[in-house]
A = this chain, B = another copy of it.
Amino acid sequence: MNWRDGYIAVDWGTTNRRAYLVDGDGGVTSNFADDRGLLAVPADAFDAEIAEIRVRLGDRPMLLAGMVGSKGGWHEVPYVRCPAGPAELAKGILWAEPGRTGIVPGVAQRDANAPDVMRGEEVQLVGAVAAGLLPKSGLVCHPGTHAKWIAAQDGAIARFRTTMTGELFALLRKHSILAGQLEGEVEPGPAFRAGVEEGLQGANLLSRLFGVRAHHALGEDAPDDAGYTSGLLIGHDLRAGLELHEGGAIGLVGDLALCRLYGAALALAGHPATQVDGERAFLAGMRILAEMS
C-alpha cells in the first residue's frame, strides 16, 4: 500500500479501539481512542465505522489489527501459522479494498498438544523487534485478560502460550464467593509476593483459592487477599510462560500497572524484565507491515 503520504493504523479490540494517522516519517499527527470495540459495533456497521474513521483522520490507506479480523469482527482473516514474522504477516493481510483497507492476520499454533491463537500481539512483537526495543530472539510476555507468552526467534513468533490469568482473576473478583475480599488495586507487596512464590511452586489453585475464603471465615488477619490471590495466579502464569524461556531478559509489553506486577513476579522468579511501551511497539509493527504490503 502507499504509506509514504501517510496512513491510518487501527488497533481494534473486543472492548476498545485506538486509531492513529501516521505520516510518511512515522510520526503520529492525529489520533483517537474510544470504546467502539467489537462488542459495540453491529456486524453490518463496520463499513460505516471505517468511513467515519477516515472522516476523522483523513482519506488515507488504512491497516487494521486485532479482534476486528476475527469471526466476530468485520472480516475473518485466516490465521498465519507460526513461525510467523513480518513477511508472513504482511502476506496474510486481507484486503477489504486492495491497497486501501487491509486487516492484519492473527497467528495460530496448530499443535495438537498446545493449540493456541493470537490477534493483536503479533503486531507489537514484530514492531518491538523492528524498533530495537527487544532483541530478535527471546521471551516476551503480554499480560492481560488472556496473557500471551511469545518465544521470538529471529524476529518471528516461533511459539507461544496463552493463559486465562486476567479473566480468571476478574471472574473471582466479580462473581465468586471471594468477590468481597478481592476489591481494590493490587500492589506488589508482601501478600502478592507470597502468592507468587506459591504459584511458582505449583501450589494447588483450587485449594489455595478456598484457603483465601477459610482464612476470612476464621476471622484471621488477612491484610491483602487481593494481592495474595493475584500473586497466586500470576505465579501460576509464570510457571506456564517460563517453560518457553531459553535465556536472556524477558520483554514485558502492555498495561503499565499489570507489567509492574509481572515484573515484580519475574524478579522473584530470578528473571530480569524489560518494559516496552505497547503503543510504540504497535505503531512500529504497523509501520513495517505497511512497508512490506
Chain A interface residues (CB < 8 Å from chain B):
70-71, 79, 108-110, 114-117, 146, 161-165, 167-168, 171-172, 174-177, 202, 204-207, 209-211, 213-215, 217-218, 220, 233, 236-237, 239-240
Contacts and interface: CB of A to CB of B under 8 A. Distances in A.
Contacts of A233: 206
B207 A205 contact: no
Nearest to A114: B211
A205 B116 CA distance: 15
Nearest to A161: B207
B210 A162 contact: yes
B171 A116 contact: no
Nearest to A203: B240
Contacts of A213: 117, 146, 164
A54 to B, nearest CB: 30
Contacts of A177: 146, 164, 167
Given A146-B210, A217-B117, A218-B117, A205 B110 contact: no
A164 B110 contact: no
Given A204-B239, A211-B114, A211-B116, A176 B171 contact: yes
**Interface hub of A108, A161, A167, A233 (most chain B Cβ within 10 A):** A167
Contacts of A79: 218
A150 to B, nearest CB: 13
B115 A206 contact: no
A206 B236 contact: yes
